[in-house]
Amino acid sequence: MTLRLAILPGDGIGPEVVDAALSILDAAKAADGLTYDSQRFPFSAAHFLETGHVLDDADLDTLRGFDAIFLGAVGGLPNDPRLAGGVIEKGILLKLRFALDQYINLRPVQLYPGIETPLKNKVPEDIDFVVVRENTEDLYCGLGGVAREKTPHEVSNQTMLATRFGVERCVRYAFELARTRPRKHLTLVHKTNVLTFVGQTWHRTFTEVAGDYSDVETAYHHVDACCMYMVNAPEVYDTVVVPNMFGDIITDLGAAIAGGMGIASSGNLNPDGAAPSMFEPVHGSAPDIAGQNKANPIATIDSLGLLLRETGRIKHDETAIKCGQRIGAAVKKVTPNFTGKSLDRSGYGTDDIAKMVIDAL
Ligand code: IPM
Ligand code: MG
């Protein structure tokens, strides 16, 4: 089949890293017999500042017509008052995740060969897990409000939400994923000793669903302890399932231990294929280095590999899966070139790294 890709290059370094990744796709596709069509969309902070348009329902309908969405990075300069209140984060990223029911945020945490981890004495075998972050509930629902704003009596609240349906579909996805990995081990991360209401929904659902997966070993960690283990003993993790807010926090920690934001890929999945999934590097738009051929495109290239593998799985397209696997393997062949160098200041340009991956293909 011909894969229909919606490309959202976004802001800052987004367009460069997306173009680098697409150059790899163009190099890879012939060998695998993959064909794709793509269309670019301008949704970004820059587009908003220029036109006042963020992303509306008609845009969402257009995007629904694609098999997958590939996003570079969105966001303008920090502290730009015109972008205050999360207008871009809420208006583009979260809107896509919620409207397209991308209920799984898949974030691999894997130390690649040659990449330096800040953790002493840890090697690639020690840091190899995947975080399944619930992506449509929890504190991210925007439930809450503020009254008597900007007065001494200001009062605000924001509510954590867990639905049995939302938790169960996420937990089931995590068990299915854990089952396909060699260790078959799944850890639930929460804070059930304090967040007893939402915590019990998660814990009970996890325990009940575990009954259907007797081949998967399970564990439970409080989120604070998880942060400690991720630093002291990351090897305890194989698959981790976690609600949205805690997942946001631990996946930045995960990116850091695996070498930094230049390496962290992610997918926002609608695993049922009812709407397109979206793939993006975890990093931001880094406006300070935009347009200078300095951005490391590895995270974006890896996200493209993930796009092909996951979209292939959802659409039962072996060609896309194979192409995605080859791109993933090529990335791992290239990372040893970073031995002894920092990911951000390696001296390699964006285009050098793209070329290395193409050669490795
Ligand atoms: C992420 C980001 C987003 C999130 C922000 C930009 C809204 O931190 O993808 O992890 O909180 O999910
Ligand atoms: Mg985050």
This model's pTM is above 0.95: yes
pLDDT digits (tens, 9 = 90+) for 152-201: 999 999 999 999 999 999 999 999 999 999 999 999 999 999 999 999 99
Q: Which ligand is nearest to the CA of 87?
A: 1
- Asked if the domains at 1-105+261-361 and 117-258 fall in one CATH topology, the answer is yes
Q: Ligand 2 centre from 159 Cα, in Å?
A: 19
Q: What pLDDT, on the 0 to 100 scale, is given for residue 342?
A: 87
pLDDT digits (tens, 9 = 90+) for 110-151: 999 999 999 999 999 999 999 999 999 999 999 999 999 999
Q: For domain 1-105+261-361, give its CATH number from 3.40.50.150, 3.40.718.10, 3.40.50.720, 1.10.4160.10.
A: 3.40.718.10
Q: Ligand 1 centre from 247 Cα, in Å?
A: 10
Q: What pLDDT, on the 0 to 100 scale, is given for residue 343?
A: 83
Q: Which residues carry out catalysis? A: 140, 191, 224, 248, 252
User: Is residue 225 within 8 Å of 191, Cβ to Cβ?
Assistant: no
Domain range list for the chain:
1-105+261-361, 117-258
Q: Which ligand is nearest to the CA of 142?
A: 1
Following DSSP, what letter does each residue of 178-225 receive, concatenated?
HHHSTT-EEEEEE-TTT-HHHHHHHHHHHHHHHTT-TTSEEEEEEHHH
Q: Ligand 2 centre from 248 Cα, in Å?
A: 4
The Cα 296–Cα 300 span in angstroms is 8
Q: What pLDDT, on the 0 to 100 scale, is given for residue 1?
A: 84
Q: How high is the mean pLDDT of the chain?
A: 97
Q: What residues line ligand 1, using a CB cutoff of 6 Å?
A: 89, 93-94, 248
User: Is residue 255 within 8 Å of 263, Cβ to Cβ?
Assistant: yes
> Could you tell me which CATH number the domain at 117-258 has?
3.40.718.10
Which residue minimizes the CA distance to atom 7 of ligand 1? 89
pLDDT digits (tens, 9 = 90+) for 310-321: 999 999 999 999
